[in-house]
Structure 1
Amino acid sequence: MNNKEIIASLAKRTGCKASKAQNMMNTLIAAMGDSFLEGDAIQINNLGSFEVKKKLERIITNPSTGQRMLVPPKLVLTFKPIPSLKDKIKKGEKQ
């Protein structure tokens, strides 16, 4: 499902125009982005949680040359679904 399909589905489910649904979606994404920049986690009921985690620096080895390199630390965005959603996906159930 791409962005246009999500917005069309949101507009259909809420009964509003696509332009208003797109505005709601953009506002939601902007608010989530601001929270992530501040380092806050976001938990959405019946879906899961998004969290910014820090990955530590590590040493990797290039398999072809054997050269060792240092990978600097970085921040990554992670998502952890709720267990019931995870089970539904494994079983292939529709909601």
Structure 2
Amino acid sequence: MATVTKKELIDRIAERTQAKRVSVKRIVQTFLDEIVRELCQDNRLEFRDFGVFETRTRASRVAQNPKTLERVEVPSKRTVKFKMGRLMRENLSRSSPESADAKPRV
């Protein structure tokens, strides 16, 4: 499994759209900042056919250190849940990692 960085995505978008890399970088970063800002306000983000981001709160619990068998209190924390949308689910179920170069249907 390969890792794709934000820089690589920006380069791809700039190449496909013939836009300047600097402006694409600013737009992508602004988009990501807005996602974080909305999730921090406990808002749900829905992108049709792509998916939904929403925050959840995990309850506090008592865990156990597997090495020492000592009980440890784990505080509650907020996490982000992502549920993929219809088109993403269809594209993922249709394609395999070998056919990653295939263009997804949008």
Q: TM-score, normalised by structure 2?
A: 0.77
**Shift in Å, 1:91:** 3.8
Q: 2:15: which partner in 1?
A: 12
1:23 paired residue number = 26
Aligned to 1:46: 49
Give the CA deviation at 1:7: 0.5
Contact 2:49 2:86 in 1 (8 A): no
Q: Deviations over 1:1-48 (max 9, x none)?
A: 211111112212333111110111111111111101111111112211
- 2:63 pairs with 1:64: no
Q: Could you list the runs of 5+ residues in structure 2 that have no partner in the other structure?
A: 97-101
SS of residue paired to 2:19 = coil
Q: How many residues align?
A: 95
User: Unmatched 5+ residue regions in structure 1?
Assistant: none
**Cα deviations by residue, 1:53-94 (Å, 9 ceiling, x for unpaired):** 110001111223222111000011121112442343244254
Amino acid at match of 2:43: D
With structure 1 as the length reference, what TM-score do the two structures score? 0.85
Aligned counterpart, 2:80: 77
Identity %: 22
Match of 2:81, SS? Answer: strand
Q: After TM superposition, which residue ranges in structure 1, 4 or more long, deviate above 3 angstroms?
A: none
